[in-house]
Structure 1
């Protein structure tokens, strides 16, 4: 372990869709990883919305693999809300959001500065998106792959 932190996040949307997340975080030294962080959040919602007081675990990572004269970067995060919560306004269901990216450092391969031009893919999986339970008549699971180009200035 290389550091202990306090992590905080503010989530917002239309209407009263606001959540405050706060909790301990740990930077871990795992051989081969550029970084690996493990965050534990307790979710606090505005008003009487469901999802108040539930816990979320969020690992974040980055791993670089040398390939030829460049690198492949594998990074991403996972948000796992581990509890359900029920109020008079409904139920917030446990959910899992997994979002890794695999990127090739094209800039470095073309003899430009490294870490400025990446091409790759992103996979986005979210079960019970926004804490809404998936059902046969209402699909709330997200499953998407995307091509990406990232340019850093």
Structure 2
């Protein structure tokens, strides 16, 4: 499960991220699938593809902070469709989450409970990078211009669009089993808070069918919200060989540590989820 670590979100529970799964996944995930297919066709027609992976992940768990009141934070679910590819010109990372929590209370203006509703949300991110320079030796393997478009909407009526642009590097870390590592500095271009930055670190390591990957987001320079850091790793075991199947099937868990979640001072998250991930 992924969140927007930016401090651009309004400080209301309507802006906070939850998890989901069920039949209403179909429409947003179908839209994402069409986008992935179209993107793959474009990149395949105009560039050399070096790596390509598309997967679907189901997660369940909880202990998330700042959820709408009434939701059981221990029983939240998310379904993620994800695509990553690298090309001779750069690369693309894209995902869409469909989240679901339990019921939450609906209240009138006087604060009286007038009903309940299941919480649903879609959150997605499109993140391309464009190669500026590459190097054969040394710690820095490639320098990139990078961008991020984030979008979301949920059952409370909240929606957002966030835009980021920055510069980053792909790293060549001399660690056995290291699949990739990168560091990127972004600047936001959003109406709510246009002058904050974030640093995103990503990495993946694999050995003996065990894969550890994830990211760290550090958002800072907000005048009104606290600096916040979000550490979100996954630990997975590949069952492909044991099951004798053609594609990767991974099982494992995800951990979310978020200090000052959404820039709220003193709100720290420690959430754990079980996961199953299948690669097409």
TM-score tier (shorter): 0.7 to 0.9
Deviation at 1:150, TM superposition (A): 0.4
Q: TM-score, normalised by structure 1?
A: 0.79
Which structure has the bigger radius of gyration? 2
Matching of residue 43 in structure 1 with residue 170 in structure 2: no
Deviation at 1:56, TM superposition (A): 0.7
Q: Which has the higher helix share?
A: 2
Distance in 1 (CA, whole Å) between partners of 2:268 and 2:151 is 20
Runs of at least 4 residues off by over 6 Å: none
Measured on the aligned residues, the alpha-carbon RMSD in Å equals 1.8
Distance of aligned partners of 1:44 and 1:119 in 2 relative to their CA distance in 1, 3 Å threshold: same
Q: Which has the higher strand share?
A: 1
Counterpart in the other structure of 1:3: 142
Matching of residue 125 in structure 1 with residue 257 in structure 2: yes
Unpaired stretches in structure 1, ≥5 consecutive residues: 135-139
Distance in 2 (CA, whole Å) between partners of 1:13 and 1:118 is 27
Deviation at 1:37, TM superposition (A): 0.9
Distance in 2 (CA, whole Å) between partners of 1:109 and 1:55 is 44
Question: Could you say which structure has the greater relative contact order, defined with CA pairs below 8 angstroms and 6 or more residues apart?
Answer: 2
Range with bigger deviation, 121-130 or 12-21:
12-21
Q: TM-score, normalised by structure 2?
A: 0.45
Deviation at 1:55, TM superposition (A): 1.8
Distance in 1 (CA, whole Å) between partners of 2:211 and 2:159 is 38
